[in-house]
Amino acid sequence: MTYRIARNGQIFGPYSLIEVQRYLASGQILPTDLAQSDAMQEWLPIEQLFPTAPTPSIAHPGGLPKLFPDPPDLPWWVALIIGIFTLGFFFQIWDIVEAAWMRRVDRASIALYLFLAEGAVYLLKLPQTFHTIAYNTGYGPQVEPGHPFPLTLLGFIFLLASRFVFRNELLRHFNGPEPIGLRLNWFLTLLFGGLYFQYHFNRINELKRALRISVPDL
């Protein structure tokens, strides 16, 4: 039989009976926490289910670790395929999705605003990009460049800023509040951006599921 533990609106587990008893003894699970076994339909206080549980020998003020919503879990290779077939448009959208998740777990994050700015420049350049593709594939007339160099330069600046600000925020989060020891190569960040981040998100989610600290972002 396994048990799930609830505290302050967060759900942990499932844990085996032995794990629950061990966490009770260490103070990581409190008598006032709620529990639900796989054979129960309602939640009950731990002290009712385990009235003879030993008094914790070590006090842990934080109790169970604070959990954060899992990062986006789309397989990186799926993102790559969709991005290729959408001529890069999906990459812009997915960058925003990743940064929006970061904003939810860290209210100090600013990467979302930079990705939105980069996306706005991308949309301004999109019509000319389609004209160029049509001309190069023989399906359209030659069109004079519609977006001057300053707009292209601005887009490149936002691309660099968004990727490296997001990289720093991820390193700060996954080596602080969620200490998994994340390392991100600066060159791969520059080269692949959100696709590189998604590769690490997939690995992080696998680790969180293995450690039973996964919180799917429903």
Q: What CATH number is attached to the domain comprising 38?
A: 3.30.1490.40
pLDDT recorded at residue 41: 79
Same domain as 165, residue 93: yes
Are both 150 and 194 inside the same structural domain?
yes
Same-domain status, 23 and 99: no
Q: For 45, phi and psi rounded to 5 degrees? A: -60, 145
Residue 58 lies in a domain: no
Residue 136 lies in a domain: yes
- Clarify whether residues 91 and 192 are in a common domain: yes
pLDDT at 58: 38
Is the same domain home to 113 and 14? no
> Is residue 11 classed as helix, strand or coil in its secondary structure?
strand
Q: Which residues constitute the domain of residue 174?
A: 76-210
pLDDT digits (tens, 9 = 90+) for 141-185: 555 555 566 788 898 999 999 999 999 999 999 988 887 788 999
pLDDT < 50 positions in the chain: 55-62
Per-residue pLDDT, 61 = 45
Contact of 43 with 36, CB cutoff 8 Å: yes
Q: Are residues 33 and 88 in the same domain?
A: no
In-domain check, residue 131: yes
In a domain, 99, yes or no: yes
Tell whether 216 is covered by a domain.
Answer: no
Rounded to two decimals, what is the model's pTM?
A: 0.66
> Alpha-carbon distance 153 to 162, whole Å?
14
Looking at the domain assignment, is residue 56 inside a domain? no
What is the number of structural domains in the chain? 2
